A = this chain, B = another copy of it.
Amino acid sequence: MSPTREDQHWMYCNMVTSRRFEEAIAKIYFEGKSPAFNMANGPIPGEMHLSDGQEPVAVGVCAHLTPEDVVTATHRPHHQAIAKGVDLDKMAAEIFGKATGLSGGRGGHMHIFDADVNFACSGIIAQGMGPAVGAALSRKMQGKSGVAVAFVGEGAVNQGGWHEAMNLAAVWNLPFVCVIEDNAWGISVSKETSSAVANNADRAAAYGIPGKRIEGNDPYAIHEAAGEAIARARAGNGPSLIEVETYRLAGHFMGDAEGYRPEGEKDALFEKDPIPKMRARMIGDGMASEEELDRIEAEAAARVDAAIKFARESDDAAPEDALTRVFAA
């Protein structure tokens, strides 16, 4: 089933919001980091993993989720957070380390947690898997609705925790979906160098569950496959695995020289940028007019600007608050 007109507008809007957000972050990230690039400096310190190019996965999946559904994300969480409805102002403030941030600056970019929309992260590869499976268990035990989705990279699939959680979800028949964003790279290591199989959907056989791979970073196909998997989970028919071919348009983190990429790879990727592609298709399919999409883009830009402004203008975290919230209040 292909996405409705409304779905498509929502998806496009979130893709654009995510892209604008990352563009803004990318620009600000370099403030205070030149001439000498030093991660510790500037208004946004620390590592920064951008998700430019990977937006179709986030929106294709999250289009089927409500705030009460659970998502766990990775070290590269912005697109997923935005599609899941994480508060953009507070997320921006968190990335700036401000008192108004989601966790008051304790977490930062790799630890985006928003309890209001059941969104959590882990910066450790594959470690979002267990918590998502546990949330699915919680829903099943409580007889409450809701599914849990764990997003992971293709590199994470070779991590032991991934395997354990897949087996657990399957043997307990939980409302869980694992979505693999296959951007072909785990930092500088290619999928080919690190994975024994080319198609991780094949690994679903190890858990007796459905597995599907979507090529081409195509938001429509992702939307369809995710819809099936999530409906299956909601119906109590157990977990599924989806691998999506996607593209990382940026480096692994900001500052990555990307010397490991084969010549020409980056240029080819930019030609496949999913955002102009979706825009063209929506217009071609008569799903949106140029004006509508322009308006969406303008609104997204405004929303991002407002979030960045909120973050910039917020107070710094209070240093001594570092010592609070270690335990539940």
Measured CB to CB, the residues of A under 8 A from B are 158-164, 166-168, 170-171, 193-197, 202-203, 205-209
* Residues on the B chain within 8 Å of A161, using CB: 160
Closest chain-B Cβ to A88's Cβ sits at a distance in Å of: 35
* Residues on the B chain within 8 Å of A164, using CB: 158-160, 163
Residue contacts A-B, CB under 8 angstroms, 6 given: A158-B163, A171-B195, A196-B206, A203-B206, A205-B205, A206-B206
* Residues on the B chain within 8 Å of A158, using CB: 163-164, 167-168
C-alpha gap A194/B167 in the complex (Å): 8
* Residues on the B chain within 8 Å of A203, using CB: 205-206
C-alpha gap A209/B197 in the complex (Å): 9
Closest chain-B Cβ to A162's Cβ sits at a distance in Å of: 8
Q: How many monomers of this chain does the complex have?
A: 2
C-alpha gap A128/B202 in the complex (Å): 26
Closest chain-B Cβ to A132's Cβ sits at a distance in Å of: 16
C-alpha gap A202/B205 in the complex (Å): 7
Closest chain-B Cβ to A256's Cβ sits at a distance in Å of: 23
Closest chain-B Cβ to A12's Cβ sits at a distance in Å of: 36
* Residues on the B chain within 8 Å of A205, using CB: 197, 202-203, 205-206
C-alpha gap A208/B206 in the complex (Å): 12
Selected from B159, B193, B206, the residue in CB contact (under 8 A) with A197 is B206
> Is A171 a contact of B159 with CB atoms below 8 Å?
no
C-alpha gap A45/B244 in the complex (Å): 54
Given contacts A158-B163, A171-B196, 8 further A-B contacts (CB under 8 A): A158-B164, A158-B168, A160-B161, A160-B164, A163-B164, A166-B196, A196-B208, A202-B205
Selected from B159, B193, B195, B209, the residue in CB contact (under 8 A) with A196 is B209
* Residues on the B chain within 8 Å of A202, using CB: 205-206, 208
Selected from B159, B195, B196, B209, the residue in CB contact (under 8 A) with A160 is B159
C-alpha gap A161/B167 in the complex (Å): 13
> Is A194 a contact of B171 with CB atoms below 8 Å?
yes
* Residues on the B chain within 8 Å of A159, using CB: 160, 164
C-alpha gap A61/B158 in the complex (Å): 28
Selected from B162, B167, B194, the residue in CB contact (under 8 A) with A195 is B167
8 closest Cβ contacts across the A-B interface? A160-B160, A170-B196, A163-B163, A196-B207, A203-B206, A206-B206, A171-B196, A160-B164
* Residues on the B chain within 8 Å of A194, using CB: 171
C-alpha gap A197/B205 in the complex (Å): 8
Closest chain-B Cβ to A187's Cβ sits at a distance in Å of: 16
